Amino acid sequence: MEKKLYNDRGLLKWQGFLMSEHNSQLTEYLKRINTLAVQKEEMSEEDIHRELMHSYHKLRLALVQLNEVDNGLYAEDIEGMVTGFDEGHVHFNTVHGIVTVPLDSIRNVYIPEFRKWSEV
């Protein structure tokens, strides 16, 4: 019989790996729960269009809440700059890439106030 050079603990050696993976999944879940937004005021189509055009022409960041509810809560706002429009859709450039949204699914558009670094 061959003698082992170390005492194999079997599945115990994987426990740390599984625990860190579980922690990362739990962290992602909690982050998602905490990013669910409260309901914002529903804007008229004209106001939504005006704000989107302002973001497009002035190259400003827009925060967009969609009219989609999951278990009574709204999802995180889409944060990005409007890069274009086509056939009832708006294209946003976000940190996650280009996001395309149907115009009729937008509930609220907010453009944060721009402040120079010297005014902060």
Whether the pTM exceeds 0.75: the reply is: no
Hey, what CATH class is 45-119 in?
Answer: mainly beta
Tell me what the mean pLDDT of segment 27-49 comes to. Answer: 78
Neighbours of 60 (CB within 10 A): 15
Least confident of 5-9, 70-74, 93-97: 5-9
Per-residue model confidence as pLDDT tens digits over 46-74: 999 999 999 999 999 999 999 888 777 78
Q: Which residues contact 114 (CB under 8 A, 6 or more apart)?
A: 60
Q: SS3 for 51?
A: helix
Helix, strand or coil, per DSSP, at residue 93: strand
Q: Of 71, 68, 77, 73, nearest to 112 (Cα)?
A: 77
Q: What confidence category does residue 16 fall into, taking pLDDT thresholds of 50, 70 and 90?
A: low
What residue segments make up the domains of the chain, in order of their start?
Answer: 45-119
